[in-house]
Amino acid sequence: MIPDTPVEVLVDLITKAKDIAATCASVPEELKGHLQKALDIASGLDEYLDRMTTKESQPLAELYEKTVSHDWDQVFKEGKTKFQLPKECITGHVEGQALKMLIHMSQAKRVLEIGMFTGYGALSMAEGLPEDGCLVACELEPYLKEFAQPIFDKSPHGKKITVKIGSAMDTLKELAGKGDQFDMVFIDADKINYINYYNFIMDSNLLRLGGVICVDNSLYKAKVYLKDTTDSNGLALREFNQCILNDPRVEQVIVPLRDGISLIRRVSVASAKSLSQVDITDDEVFRGVQGRSILDRMRLDGKVAYVTGGGQGIGRAFAHALGEAGAKVAVVDIDQTKAEAVVKELFLKGIHGIPIKADISKADDVQRMVDTIVSKWGTIHIACNNAGINRNSASEDTSLEEWDQTFNVNLRGTFMCCQAAGRVMLKQGYGKIINTASMASLIVPHPQKQLSYNTSKAGVVKMTQTLGTEWIDRGVRVNCISPGIVDTPLIHSEDLRPLVQRWLSDIPAGRLAQVTDLQAAVVYLASDVSDYMTGHNLVIEGGQSLW
Ligand SMILES: C[S@@+](CC[C@H](N)C(=O)[O-])C[C@H]1O[C@@H](n2cnc3c(N)ncnc32)[C@H](O)[C@@H]1O
């Protein structure tokens, strides 16, 4: 077996040294013992890594078997491939799993592979991609696409892979011409061209900012650092590694796995500025506020939030959205079981949550809610006052009981939440309050009759405007979201079905709102990017209030 990695070279050399020592009487036993130990360490490493790495999927195992048992010399002799392809080309189990892990960790969605061979690396990476992820694999040899495709077709992840046959450089030019961009690139083709691929990828923006290039064989059997190297591939990779080290646009680390994998990350634009010929305005727009890109700035990591009415519908969607953005979330609901169920859902997604039972129309409950959160997590940064009720009646028949009930929850309850959370926020000079109002604060939705609801929600907007202006100079922003008609199970009831048809004809968007349509708005209002917004009523109603 020809040694293919630095460790395999070591094993080869130590084995030779040990064989020589065994035939030589003058070699001390201690030296023989050290040689044996060194051999055990070096020869056991790859086998141990293989054994301790999560088992590959069935399609990958099949692809591996099919590749290593194929007669590649015969294929070449028959003229089916332009080049003689050694089966050792294959990425293999440990490296394949490492690539898949990198895809997961970087949350890459678009991946480019240069040099696919039989597709082991491509399928490993595809397994790490989300459902809507995609991987473009460049390969010179048409034979390899035919070889890999039947196994891709057997895998549920194979549909994410598009194979582009031809010279990789031609494919790169085609992709760049279309304005394509990737989160991760795996370079594993002709070594001499690595530097050309790299330069083209960087110069044509094929790699997004923050994206990663993985380069295989960057230790090239240790030839990159051995002084007596004359091998052209070894010298090319030595030069390649040095070029990357000198490039201010990226940072790199070489992981000594198998034949070495370089991880090269495209870093912030600020460090690349020196390469630019154009006059750059080096400000927060260019660098990002505190060096953070717009999506980063919308993250809520470390923030403490609560959502009232969080046990279902819009509140549940808000709780998930805030949690996905990084916040810890107290799920508050009058129904303890529903609050607990949502907290369990959050937990499954790795989000910290606590369930709190509270009736927001009761002052004691509201104060207990705030105290529970503060004693558990120390503070409150984001208060989503979402709980509300909706009763329908013709105004001439509206009872005072209905009016009071509606106002007690929708307006008085929301005020008590704003006040109790606001006191915590004002003390710390920071807070985001997001109230759920309604499109009914702007228009009179019809044909249903809901005077008390409409009026209470108009009150929520005015309260939001007043608090928003009163507290902004002490770091507390108060805004509200006004959803249009939201698609909930209630709406599909026998009674309401005729109304839905009426409503739809009133909505330019041609459909009701889904709770997921409202999620980005709550994250936006909860994050620092909306700091200049206060007292605002963010209307999300598919255009209904405009008709
Ligand atoms: C080391 S193998 C790739 C192994 C593969 N990444 C895997 O996961 O098993 C290198 C592959 O690059 C392809 N290749 C070489 N030069 C190329 C070029 N200029 N354009 C496209 N593919 C090329 C070869 O045909 C070969 O299949």
- CA of 139 from ligand 1 middle (Å) equals 6
58-266 and 298-546, same CATH topology: yes
Number of H helices, E strands in the chain: 21, 14
State whether the beta carbon of 121 lies less than 6 angstroms from ligand 1: yes
- CA of 152 from ligand 1 middle (Å) equals 17
State whether the beta carbon of 116 lies less than 6 angstroms from ligand 1: yes
What is the dihedral angle through the alpha carbons of 275, 276, 277, 280, rounded to the nearest 10 degrees? Answer: -140
State the distance between the two ends of the chain, measured CA to CA, in whole angstroms.
Answer: 76
State whether the beta carbon of 8 lies less than 6 angstroms from ligand 1: no
State whether the beta carbon of 188 lies less than 6 angstroms from ligand 1: yes
Atom of ligand 1 nearest to the CA of 96: 8
State whether the beta carbon of 147 lies less than 6 angstroms from ligand 1: no
State whether the beta carbon of 115 lies less than 6 angstroms from ligand 1: yes
CATH of 298-546, one of 3.55.50.30, 3.40.50.720, 3.30.420.80, 3.40.1440.60: 3.40.50.720
Atom of ligand 1 nearest to the CA of 121: 8
What residues does each domain of the chain span? Answer: 6-52, 58-266, 298-546
**Nearest-angstrom CA–CA distance, 377 and 353:** 10
Could you tell me how many residues make up the chain? 547
Per the rule left: phi > 0, alpha: psi between -120 and 50, beta: everything else, 448 is beta
Per DSSP, the three-state class of 332 is: strand
Q: Which residues contact 245 (CB under 8 A, 6 or more apart)?
A: 252
Residues 507 and 543 sit within 8 Å (Cβ to Cβ)? yes
Per DSSP, the three-state class of 164 is: strand
Q: Which residues are catalytic?
A: 453
Task: Tell me which of 60, 190, 220, 261 to substitute to probe ligand 1's pocket, judged by most ligand atoms within 8 Å of the beta carbon.
Answer: 190
**Nearest-angstrom CA–CA distance, 246 and 242:** 6
pLDDT digit of tens for each residue in the chain (547 aa)?
Answer: 789 999 999 999 999 999 999 999 999 999 999 999 999 999 999 999 999 999 999 999 999 999 999 999 999 999 999 999 999 999 999 999 999 999 999 999 999 999 999 999 999 999 999 999 999 999 999 999 999 999 999 999 999 999 999 999 999 999 999 999 999 999 999 999 999 999 999 999 999 999 999 999 999 999 999 999 999 999 999 999 999 999 999 999 999 999 999 999 999 776 666 666 678 888 999 889 998 999 999 999 999 999 999 999 999 999 999 999 999 999 999 999 999 999 999 999 999 999 999 999 999 999 999 999 999 999 999 999 999 999 999 999 999 999 999 999 999 999 999 999 999 999 999 999 999 999 999 999 989 899 999 999 999 999 999 999 999 999 999 999 999 999 987 777 777 778 888 899 999 999 999 999 999 999 999 999 999 999 999 999 999 999 9
Atom of ligand 1 nearest to the CA of 144: 27
Q: What is the 3-state secondary structure (H, E, C) of 468-498?
A: HHHHHHHCEEEEEEEECCECCHHHHCCCCHH
State whether the beta carbon of 436 lies less than 6 angstroms from ligand 1: no
CA 467 to chain centre: 35
- CA of 158 from ligand 1 middle (Å) equals 19
Q: Whose CA is nearest to atom 1 of ligand 1?
A: 89
Q: Whose CA is nearest to atom 16 of ligand 1?
A: 190
State whether the beta carbon of 217 lies less than 6 angstroms from ligand 1: no
- The H-or-E segment that residue 235 falls in is helix 232-246
- CA of 243 from ligand 1 middle (Å) equals 22
**Nearest-angstrom CA–CA distance, 505 and 542:** 12
Residue 102 CB burial class (10 angstroms; 0-12, 13-18, ≥19) = buried
Whether domain 58-266 has CATH 3.40.50.150: the reply is yes
Residues 163 and 137 sit within 8 Å (Cβ to Cβ)? yes
**Nearest-angstrom CA–CA distance, 175 and 16:** 49
What value, to the nearest 5°, has the Cα angle with vertex 119 and ends 113 and 125?
60
Residues 160 and 64 sit within 8 Å (Cβ to Cβ)? no
CA atoms in the 13 A half-sphere facing the CB of 476: 28
What is the dihedral angle through the alpha carbons of 418, 420, 425, 427, rounded to the nearest 10 degrees? Answer: 140
For the four alpha carbons of 61, 65, 68 and 72, in that order, the dihedral sign comes to negative
DSSP string, 9-23: HHHHHHHHHHHHHHH
